Amino acid sequence: MRTINTLIIVVVALFLSAFSPPDKFNDGYEVGDKATDFELKNVDGNTVSLSDYKDAKGFLVIFTCNSCPYARAYEDRIIALDKKYKEKGVPVIAINPNNPEVQPKDSFEEMKVRAANKGFTFPYLLDEGQEIFPVYGAQRTPHCFLLEKTDEGNIVKYIGAVDDNYQDADDVEVTYVEDAINAMLDNKEIEIKNTKAIGCSIKV
Amino acid sequence: MKWIIVVTSLCFVVGCKSEKTEDKSFVLSEFSEVQPMNIIEAENFSIPVYDFDGFEKLMNNNKDKTYVVNFWATWCKPCVNELPYFEQLYTEYKKEGVEVILVSLDFPKKVNEILIPFLEEKKLNSNVVLLDDPKQNHWIPKVDKDWSGAIPATVIINENKRSFYEKSFTFIELEDEVKDFIK
């Protein structure tokens, strides 16, 4: 009986392994996963890594860009988030995931212009070679990943939208990202860990 | 399931258009008990505006048709690039009972400034509706649980089959998918 059980388990395991999708590991992060660090070029000419921030408690990594109207609708709110939470140890790190050859408005030069015009208070990095956004699993702009810095690395705590109203900051009812950061800093359970929103597809 | 009802009902309503009117007005509202939140009137057409609940309540069904529902916006370059394929699909497969519905996710505040001139210029034959519902986290999963929210995105649906695509189409790819539904 025991051997039969073992045999069944082996057969099932073989079956499952044979049919598991090949892109299983390319689907990006889920809440609870450890997020990779990176070394990307900032609009100020320096490179930025998460490990540069010795005193940070976490990071709000936002994949965003110049060209997407949804991303632009959130720029002021992202600046406000950075100002509010940088001093609490959770700075915004913005990454442009788009291929500038496909969307010239998202070239490094244009990023510099946009960052200067809007007065970005946070790094605005180019995902050169587009290697980082697929690892995170960013699917659109804007797409937020809240990370908590722990002894085991940077752990993903929230994935999704900034808040629940892209059209008008005054009509926002749920501030997803703020709620998540506040809970994280208070060592409380984050209530809403994943949200969906319309956004621009990432240009590859 | 709800979504199926929505789309089929929406389309039933839309389907009546051709037999009913000669002008280019989009007359969805005339046939629906669910009033759109708003109807945007332009010179040669009108666009009904729905929130998702309204969109969902359009109760009816037309089992003979296959519906191709494309989520797009004027600001979405790959969406605009593929619109001609949806138009071509509609033109070539209308006779086979294929309806194309272009669900615009343009910013409602920019409709007069951007969407209307765009539609005037493109002279689209497919039906255009505006989905004005900022509570996206509520309705995106109702369209499809796997949809990240990126556009373009398309649902093809009839009484037997339903598929969701978060991708751009070429005409050939679109035609291949639709052929699976009408064979």
| Complex-level ipTM | 0.74
Give the residue extent of every domain in chain A. Answer: 23-201
CB neighbourhood size of A12 (10 A): 10
Taking a C-beta distance cutoff of 8 angstroms, is the pair A171, B134 a contact?
A: yes
Which of A98-103's residues contact partners 24+ apart within 8 Å by CB, and which partners? Answer: A98/A65, A98/A67, A98/A141, A98/A202, A98/A203, A99/A130, A99/A203, A99/A204, A100/A126, A102/A203, A102/A204, A103/A65, A103/A67, A103/A203, A103/B77
SS3 B8: helix
In the prediction, which pLDDT does B17 show? 37
CA proximity to A137, closest of A21, A13, A27, A1: A27
- Between CA B179 and CA A125 the distance in angstroms is 44
Across all residues in chain B, what is the average pLDDT?
A: 80
Phi, psi of A199 (to 5 degrees): -160, 175
CA distances from A48 to A85, A108, A127, B129, B137 (A): 18, 15, 11, 44, 32
What's the pLDDT tens digit per position in B64-88? 788 899 999 999 989 999 999 999 9
Cβ separation of B136 and A171 shorter than 8 Å?
no
Residue A46 to chain B, least CA–CA distance (Å)? 31
In the prediction, which pLDDT does A23 show? 40
In the prediction, which pLDDT does B125 show? 79
Is the Cβ of A65 closer than 8 Å to some Cβ of chain B? no
Who has greater pLDDT, A198 or A91? Answer: A91
In the prediction, which pLDDT does B63 show? 62
- Token digits for B125? 């034959």
- Between CA A167 and CA B16 the distance in angstroms is 33
Q: Model's pTM, two decimal places?
A: 0.80
Taking a C-beta distance cutoff of 8 angstroms, is the pair A101, A64 a contact?
A: no
What's the pLDDT tens digit per position in B17-30? 333 333 333 334 33
For the segment B81-102, the average pLDDT, to the nearest whole number, is 94
Q: What is the DSSP letter of B74?
A: T
What's the pLDDT tens digit per position in B122-162? 888 778 999 999 999 999 999 999 899 999 999 998 888 88
Cβ separation of B75 and A200 shorter than 8 Å?
yes
In the prediction, which pLDDT does B19 show? 36
- Enumerate domains of chain B plus CATH numbers: 2-182 (3.40.30.10)
Interface of B with A (CB under 8 A): 73, 75-78, 105, 107-109, 134-137, 140-141, 147-152, 168
- Between CA B156 and CA B128 the distance in angstroms is 16
Cβ separation of A197 and B135 shorter than 8 Å?
no
Cβ separation of B77 and A103 shorter than 8 Å?
yes
Taking a C-beta distance cutoff of 8 angstroms, is the pair A196, B137 a contact?
A: yes
- Token digits for A33? 């996963």
Who has greater pLDDT, A127 or B110? Answer: A127
Q: Which of A67-76, A88-97, B63-72, B113-122 has the lowest mean pLDDT?
A: B63-72
- Between CA B182 and CA A119 the distance in angstroms is 54
Residue A9 has pLDDT above 60, yes or no: no
Task: Determine the straight-line distance between the first and last CA of chain B, rounded to whole angstroms.
Answer: 23
- Between CA A136 and CA A159 the distance in angstroms is 10
Across all residues in chain A, what is the average pLDDT?
A: 90
In the prediction, which pLDDT does B127 show? 85
Residue A28 has pLDDT above 60, yes or no: yes
- Between CA B159 and CA B63 the distance in angstroms is 6
CA proximity to B52, closest of B16, B126, B2: B2
- Between CA B55 and CA B51 the distance in angstroms is 6
Contacts of B68 (CB under 8 A, 6+ apart): B86, B89, B90, B98, B99, B100, B101, B154, B155, B156, B174, B178
* Residue A173 CA from chain centroid, whole number: 22
Residue B5 has pLDDT above 60, yes or no: no
Residue B182 has pLDDT above 80, yes or no: yes
pLDDT band per the 50, 70, 90 thresholds, residue A5:
low
SS3 B3: helix
Cβ separation of A161 and B108 shorter than 8 Å?
no
pLDDT band per the 50, 70, 90 thresholds, residue A26:
low
In the prediction, which pLDDT does B151 show? 94
* CATH classification code of A23-201: 3.40.30.10
pLDDT band per the 50, 70, 90 thresholds, residue B183:
confident
- Between CA B126 and CA B84 the distance in angstroms is 10
What's the pLDDT tens digit per position in A148-196? 999 999 999 999 999 999 888 999 999 999 999 999 999 999 999 999 9
Plot region of A13 (φ>0 → left; ψ -120 to 50 → alpha; else → beta): alpha
In the prediction, which pLDDT does B4 show? 52
